[in-house]
Amino acid sequence: MANLQEYIHRSSMIPGWTRNEDAEELARASFSLSRDAIIVEIGAFLGCCTVLLAGARCVQGSGEVHSVDPFDCSGDAFSLPYYQDIVASLGGGSLRDHFEANIQRAGLSDWVQVHHGRAAGVAATWKVPIGLLLLDGDQSPRGAREAFDSWVPFLKPGGIIVLRNTKPREYAEGHDGHRRLVVEQIFPPRFTDVRLVGATTFARKAADHSHHLKPGPSV
C-alpha cells in the first residue's frame, strides 16, 4: 500500500492547483478523520484533490470520498478558459473519463464515488452526515454560496470544512466566491480552529452553531 507522501506525489502529477503545503495539509486533514469517514468534495475536475483525500483514507484503511462535479468544465467565467485549455492539452474528450482514469491509475477507484451533477442538485437527495467538506468548485460568489448553503448542514459537529483559493489578494471579478465565504461565514461561533494554509482555509464546524451569525466585514 502506498503511504501518504506517495499519494501527495501522485496528486502533483495531475493538472490542478492544490500543491505543496496546501496539498499536504488536505491529505493530513483526510487522514485525521475517524474510521469510516465520509468525505464530500465539490469540484473534482481531473482528480488532483480526490487523490489526496482518497489516498489518505486508503492509507487509513476505511472511509469514502464522494466527488461532485458536472464534468462540463463549467464554473465561474474566469476559470472556464483555463479548464478548457487543460482538457484540450490532454487531447480533449470527456472530462469525467480523464478524471476516472486518473483515479484508476492511483489505485483509488474503490475509494471514490462519483456524483455527476451540480452541488445543489446532488445535495437535494443527500442524507448522510459527512466528516470533511471540500469546496473547490464554482468560485463565483453565487455558485460558492449555493454549494456552501447546500452542504454545510450535512457536516458533522467537529467536521472539517476546506475552502480552496481563499488567500487575501486581489481576485478577478466574479472569482472571489470562496474568499467571500471565509470573510462572511467562517468564524466563531459557527466555526472554530480557522486557519489559512497557503491559499486554503481549514476550519471545524462547532458543536453548537445555533447562534445567529453577524455579517462579516466586506472583502
pLDDT, mean of residues 177-193: 97
Q: Which residue has the higher pLDDT, 77 or 149?
A: 149
At 98, is the pLDDT very low, low, confident or very high (cuts 50, 70, 90)? very high
pTM of the full structure:
0.92
C-alpha cell at 55: 489516498
pLDDT, mean of residues 17-25: 96
At 215, is the pLDDT very low, low, confident or very high (cuts 50, 70, 90)? very low
* 158 three-state secondary structure: strand
Is residue 135 predicted with pLDDT exceeding 70?
yes
pLDDT, mean of residues 27-38: 97
**The CATH fold of domain 4-109+117-205:** Rossmann fold (3.40.50)
pLDDT, mean of residues 115-143: 97
The domains of the chain are located at 4-109+117-205
Distance CA 23, CA 53 (A): 9
Residue 2 pLDDT? 77
pLDDT, mean of residues 39-63: 97
Distance CA 17, CA 210 (A): 35
Best CA proximity match to 42, nearest among 9, 71, 82, 10: 71
pLDDT, mean of residues 89-102: 93
Q: Are 134 and 165 in contact (CB under 8 A)?
A: no
Is residue 148 predicted with pLDDT exceeding 80?
yes
Give phi and psi for 200, each to the nearest 5: -120, 130
Q: Are 72 and 123 in contact (CB under 8 A)?
A: no
Q: Are 163 and 182 in contact (CB under 8 A)?
A: yes
Best CA proximity match to 15, nearest among 92, 117, 108, 99: 99
At 208, is the pLDDT very low, low, confident or very high (cuts 50, 70, 90)? low
The neighbour count for residue 93, using CB atoms within 10 Å, is: 11
Is residue 53 predicted with pLDDT exceeding 60?
yes
Is residue 159 predicted with pLDDT exceeding 50?
yes
Query: Cis peptide before 215, with omega less than 30 degrees from 0?
Result: no
Q: Which residue has the higher pLDDT, 55 or 77?
A: 55
Distance CA 133, CA 115 (A): 14
Q: Where are the beta strands (DSSP E) in 108-190?
A: 112-116, 130-135, 155-163
User: Which residues share a beta bridge with 113?
Assistant: 66
Least confident range of 84-98, 161-175, 185-199:
84-98
The neighbour count for residue 72, using CB atoms within 10 Å, is: 12
At 218, is the pLDDT very low, low, confident or very high (cuts 50, 70, 90)? very low
